[in-house]
Amino acid sequence: MSAPADLLLRTGPKAAEEVVDTYRELAGPVVEKVRDADFRTQWQAMADLGVLRLAAADDTGPGPVTRSLAMIEGIGLAGADPGICYALASQVFGMQFPLRAALAEDAWRAIAEVQDGGTLLCHALTERSGGSDPFSMRTRARREGDVFVLDGAKTFITAAPVADRAIVFARTGEGRSPFALSAFLFPLDIPGVVRAESFTKTALPSVPMGELVFEGARLPAGSLIGDEGSGLAVMASTTAWERAVILGYALGPMRRTLRRIVEWAAGRDHFGRRMGASHQVASRVSEMALALHRSRVQLYAMAALLDAGTPARQLAAEAALTKISVSEDYVRLTEHATALSGVRAFIADSELPADLHSPMAALTYAGPNDLLRVGIARQFGLPVEN
């Protein structure tokens, strides 16, 4: 893409743009080296670049959230597999930041090695009976002295087949009381934890997904996050974090797609003229730029709010709006790219293969968009229930 067009996309804070550029350059050769490696090798290679490392709030440069967002955008721009970018964003924003905020200093220090990549986390909420309604969960933790014993199963969990530790939500009370759920963080190599089925995904296929079954698993003392009964509050925090910034993973892939399509339209001849000379083609390219622009502005705005110390739970509505907007713009951008690529969109080893499944999956995870819309309308005072 020519320099002026690239400048149009420089919508992040200046210090963040420097991080994006640094990580694009740093990651380039690493991405090439590990392109065909397994998930864990690619994960470790990105962790070795520092992508999982949370900056301290008083470090110079952009705030910690903005910095993480820019690092993930940078490696995506360098061509890192979108699935790896997704998994990194999921752990950094949906787990590490909320845990650092929720855990006492010594508890966070005890798991801080997750930032080196050697220990991988997963976030286990969904069950076979449904993911949208947390109160439908059947996984149960019963107290025995100062430990909890866990029974049940969590299904469709990103990274479950390879994770070392899990954040697991379980029922410690009855019914739909806001205090009926609790959250736990514990290692997965304890007796009573079984890694059951693995799922072959059509979206983000490079990231493993699986099921965790708990059969009388005695959780180590200290596994409870917060207080017994505070699971819904923990979940409100992890999901608000996710909704606010997880789709930052898509910025690098979106920019790469736009660049490829611009080059394609600029260089290909159609009907005796350049394809890009068609107003309809130009219009689709502009729509792609708009989708990317809206997404960048919103994601960096959310990062700035979080960096300013706004508690994630207070940003629930803005986070939901951002998640809906960016996920739908990611789908839209990919649809335009697919239309402009012709048959090549459907040829796996062409120069323009399309992947619509991965953007479409973003409409579902971190809260299905339809249900997020219901929550937003409720915030405006409409008497609408899920």
Ligand X SMILES: Cc1cc2nc3c(=O)[nH]c(=O)nc-3n(C[C@H](O)[C@H](O)[C@H](O)COP(=O)(O)OP(=O)(O)OC[C@H]3O[C@@H](n4cnc5c(N)ncnc54)[C@H](O)[C@@H]3O)c2cc1C
Query: Where do contacts with ligand X occur on this chain (CB under 6 A)?
Result: 122-126, 130-132, 156-158, 203-204, 361, 364-365, 368, 370-371, 374, 386
- Between residues 132 and 286, which has the closer beta carbon with respect to ligand X? 132
Which helix H or strand E contains 167, and what residues bound it?
A: strand 165-171
CA separation for the pair 99, 112 (Å, rounded)? 10
Phi–psi pair at 138, nearest 5 degrees: -110, -15
Q: Which is nearer to ligand X, 125 or 320 (CB)?
A: 125
Residue number, 323 or 336, with CB nearest to ligand X:
323
Provide, rounded to whole angstroms, the least separation between the CB of residue 39 and ligand X: 14
The residues with which 170 forms a beta bridge, in sequence order, are 182
Residue with the shortest CB distance to ligand X: 131
- State the minimum distance, in angstroms, from the CB of residue 383 to ligand X: 14
**Min CB(327)–ligand X separation in Å:** 11
Closest to ligand X by CB, 23 vs 156, is 156
Residue nearer to ligand X on the CB measure, 182 or 341: 182
Place of tokens 């864990």: 40
Q: Which is nearer to ligand X, 126 or 325 (CB)?
A: 126
CA 129, distance to chain mean position in Å, is 23
Count Cβ atoms below 10 Å from residue 312 Cβ, excluding itself. Answer: 25
Cβ contact 300:11 at 8 Å: yes
**Nearest approach, Cβ of 375 to ligand X (angstroms)?**
10
Least distance to ligand X, CB of residue 85, Å:
13
Report CA torsion sign: 332, 334, 335, 336: positive
- CA dist list (Å): 166 to 12, 112, 121, 299: 33, 14, 5, 26
**Beta-bridge partners for 193:** 214
Smallest distance from the beta carbon of 72 to ligand X, in angstroms? 17
Rounded CA-CA distance 7/189 in Å is 49
